[in-house]
A and B are shown apart, each in its own frame.
Chain A
């Protein structure tokens, strides 16, 4: 359960995020959509305590994230390439993250082996440093690394961008599976309305830092979202 309460982030007087209240129950697959500058990445950064809230707080499983570090053991994320360590190979990177999360090499190998078709043979055993992989392949490595150690909460910022169609479809499978079978809370943001409606049980629309829609995904959701972003929204 992630509880957001009266959260606000200001940059030199400019409010970029203002969420009065948002509760994400455990095991939900949660989607965040919005145009550029809507505050999606800001929210995720606050959730990971990478930036300081101007007011309010987020509680992740009862731990207030900007007060205690106890949320770290059960939370993992892939926001952008700065979550990768460029001078490691993919395997070394997985083992490093594994060690931080209390997993030995065998555990990591077992987990990573499940994603062989997701990797499409382009990640493991490449004898290449992560910095030398293509953008898409870097992203694949980063996403899988975020799954190491069975975290309860996984945060992925724009996971579908830069991926090829085959990988996008496989990633959707992975995310659905996480939320359904392992009751992991998955938070993703995306510009692709189709993908989010396909994957997420619940979708929240941000605009200029505020929540303007909170939808339970149904048949009609995609239409409603498209109408909203096209500007032909009828209330």
Chain B
């Protein structure tokens, strides 16, 4: 049966409509994987040295176990964002003579075969063997490696429980923040010394292999819990029947001020607010706004003014980038309707433009407090906002005409690569790197003020030629109309 499942998945991968483009993303992911493996191997080989440097008086083995708590917490957070329970379209399988148990075990089993579960081994095994070579007891270290593997698996299944909780709440990050925050808080304020307890527990188990039973029992319990909840979900009606909340409608009368694009703006605002995927690009706004705080407070960056423009582009353009890169794929679900309705493409695009332009202005106003870190920063943000308004809005709209990938609005958003193609990677170059390059070069040649001036002038030129640029963009969209309709009808 497992063989059948595997062959089904292989076919769905090979025969997917966007196989070629999907492959490019997968190859990129492959490189990331290799990179991480190399990193972990490196850490593994030099772990003892690093630990001895930081804690000269402590045995590396004890020192590592002392840090195990933070390892576990970090692992959980990374998992929450990057690891999803493997998906399988089960609906066609439910009526076939396949045991539900088999499907659930397969899905859970497959989740174990994930890079994220193997990565720790790349660090732990070299570290362990070096410890043995340095005179540690062989059995102890081997048992210890086993404990770490079991802890990794415990994290694996714990993560799915946290994720299933987060799928039920509106603020999807809440469960992980509460869970990790509580653990960390208890430990940090010494209410419960989890870090110490965990470290002692692991050492004790390593020395008495019989105690391995304890983590194994925890693992089995977590697996059983996952099994139970998944099995419950494996009925057709529970998959089909969604909880339907009563909806509140608002008129959004203020959009009437924008004239003939008002209906589209209303539609876009509802699109943003009523779908999982888009809602998270709204939640990204505060994140982007505070992006500067990672850099400006550090004195090292204070002396790198050529960098300010890029941060300015990002802070004032976070919505532009997030929302803009998937125009018109946001509307892919009903693109045929739009194309056969009595609308002008120009109005449709103008509404998107207005929305992005408004966001840039609002974000700039909200970012004014950065002036605390120096007037240069405010100036850099101001010209970056103008550049966003005049150049980046048009660039991203133009790039959109190359979009050929459908987006399912109901899917959860964090690290969801659906709808991502080569366009999304390439568009970053003119969007972020180009202004960085222009500003950087100007700064090096002529100084900060001139750099700002050039960036601002480019933005103003874009604003002046707005009408003409929109005409060009509209034409481009009209040319790719049939291709887009066809592409948005394909699944995957």
Contacts and interface: CB of A to CB of B under 8 A. Distances in A.
A52 interface: yes
Interface string B267-284: 100110011000000000
Contact of A129 (B247, B335, B339): B247
Interface in A74-124: 75-77, 79-80, 82-89, 91-92, 96-97, 99-102
Contacts of A82: 333-337, 489
B263 interface: yes
B244 interface: yes
B267 A96 contact: yes
Interface stretch (A43-51, A174-182, A227-235): A43-51
Nearest to B250: A92
B161 interface: no
Interface in A117-152: 127-129, 131-132, 149
B304 to A, nearest CB: 43
B232 interface: no
Interface in B315-341: 333-337, 339-341
A213 interface: no
A102 B343 CA distance: 10
Given A50-B340, A100-B341, A132 B242 contact: yes
Given A48-B340, A82-B334, A87-B409, A100 B247 contact: no
Nearest to B340: A48
A173 interface: no
Contacts of A75: 340
B482 A52 contact: yes
B486 interface: yes
B485 interface: yes
B89 interface: no
A92 B341 contact: no
A145 to B, nearest CB: 9
Nearest to A98: B263
Given A51-B485, A85-B334, A91-B249, A72 B340 contact: yes
B342 interface: yes
A131 B335 CA distance: 16
A47 to B, nearest CB: 9
A84 B334 contact: yes
Contacts of A99: 262-263
A100 B347 CA distance: 11
B237 interface: no
Contacts, number: 83
A158 to B, nearest CB: 15
B246 interface: yes
Given A72-B340, A77-B340, A100-B263, A128 B247 contact: yes
A77 B343 CA distance: 14
Main secondary structure of the interface of B (DSSP, over half): helix
A72 B342 contact: yes
A92 B270 contact: yes
A101 B274 CA distance: 24
A198 B417 CA distance: 49
A139 B275 CA distance: 22
A25 interface: no
Contacts of A56: none
A79 B267 CA distance: 21
Contact of B334 (A51, A86, A129, A132): A86
Contacts of B339: 48-50
Given A96-B267, A99-B263, A89 B334 contact: no
A213 B192 CA distance: 84
Contact of A83 (B262, B270, B275, B336): B336
Contacts of A102: 342
A77 B409 CA distance: 24
B340 to A, nearest CB: 4
B234 to A, nearest CB: 22
A170 B51 CA distance: 79
Contacts of B263: 96, 99-100
Nearest to B482: A52
A166 B318 CA distance: 51
A62 interface: no
A73 interface: yes
A196 B335 CA distance: 29
20 contacts: A48-B336, A48-B339, A52-B482, A72-B343, A75-B340, A77-B340, A82-B333, A82-B337, A83-B336, A83-B337, A84-B334, A87-B270, A87-B271, A87-B274, A89-B247, A99-B263, A127-B249, A128-B247, A129-B274, A131-B410
Q: List the 6 shortest-distance A-B pairs measured between CB atoms, nearest first.
A: A99-B263, A87-B274, A83-B337, A48-B340, A72-B342, A127-B246
Interface of A: 48-52, 69, 72-73, 75-77, 79-80, 82-89, 91-92, 96-97, 99-102, 127-129, 131-132, 149
Given A72-B343, A83-B340, 6 more contacts: A82-B334, A82-B335, A86-B334, A127-B247, A129-B247, A149-B342
